[in-house]
Structure 1
Amino acid sequence: MAAAATAYLDADENLEAIIARIDHKSRKIETLLKQSKPVEALKTVLEGSPLKTRDERCKSANWIVVHRALMAIRDVHGMFSSLDPEYYDILMK
């Protein structure tokens, strides 16, 4: 349990770095969306998601980017069939 608590603390200590990564991913997915690659954009945004942070600002910023990618996908069934199982877990978290 101490290791899990440490993981949360480590993530929370780097809040500005997490926000900077989310901003970078946001710009990257906008480029992918302009290239009509919404599934690739979703995969990009899910990779390295800040799952262990408890900071609401980080969670909210990440959700905005995930939501942007999800809303660009027209074929949801096709999207789910193209995702690797690891992405399902990240998406549900």
Structure 2
Amino acid sequence: MAETEKSAGSDNTEDILAKIENKSLKIESLIKQYKPIEAIKIALESYPPQDKRCKYANWIGVRKALMAIKDVEGILRSLDPQYYDILMK
């Protein structure tokens, strides 16, 4: 029984990682289109669960979006407050 739960959790993690990878591709596309605000919003949406691999994979996308921004302070001011908590996590 515990083995089945562990396997299901692993599958769920793999699904989440696949979604994060797709989100990363969208972020890269938006960065190439010079749309950093949209990229950071996509990066911060659907914050992953506490699994370390998922959090790290998601952080890579957030970092890419942040690094593409020239005026970080201005972008952060333009974001909805709901994103601040996610950024701090």
| Cα distance, 1:43 vs structure 2 | 0.4
Give the Cα separation in 2 of the matches to 1:71 and 1:38.
9
Choose which of 13, 16, 21 in structure 2 pairs with 1:18.
Answer: 16
Q: Which AA in structure 2 matches 1:22?
A: I
- TM-score, length of structure 2 as denominator length: 0.84
**Aligned CA-pair RMSD:** 1.6
Amino acid aligned to 1:39 = I
Report the equivalent of 1:82. 78
Higher gyration radius (CA): 2
Q: Which runs of 4+ in 1 moved over 4 A?
A: none
Q: How far 1:77 moved relative to its partner?
A: 1.5
Corresponding residue pairs, total: 81
Alignment of 1:28-47 (within 5 A): 28-47=26-45
Percentage of matched positions with identical amino acids: 60
Q: Which residue of structure 1 lines up, in the alignment, with residue 65 of structure 2? A: 69
Provide, for residues 15-69 of structure 1, a one-character-per-residue CA deviation record: whole Å limited to 9, x for no partner: 011101100100001110010011110000100010x32x221111111111111
| Equivalent in the alignment of 1:59 | 55
Name structure 1 gaps, 5 residues minimum: 1-8
Letter paired with 1:70: L
What letter matches 2:74 in structure 1? Answer: G
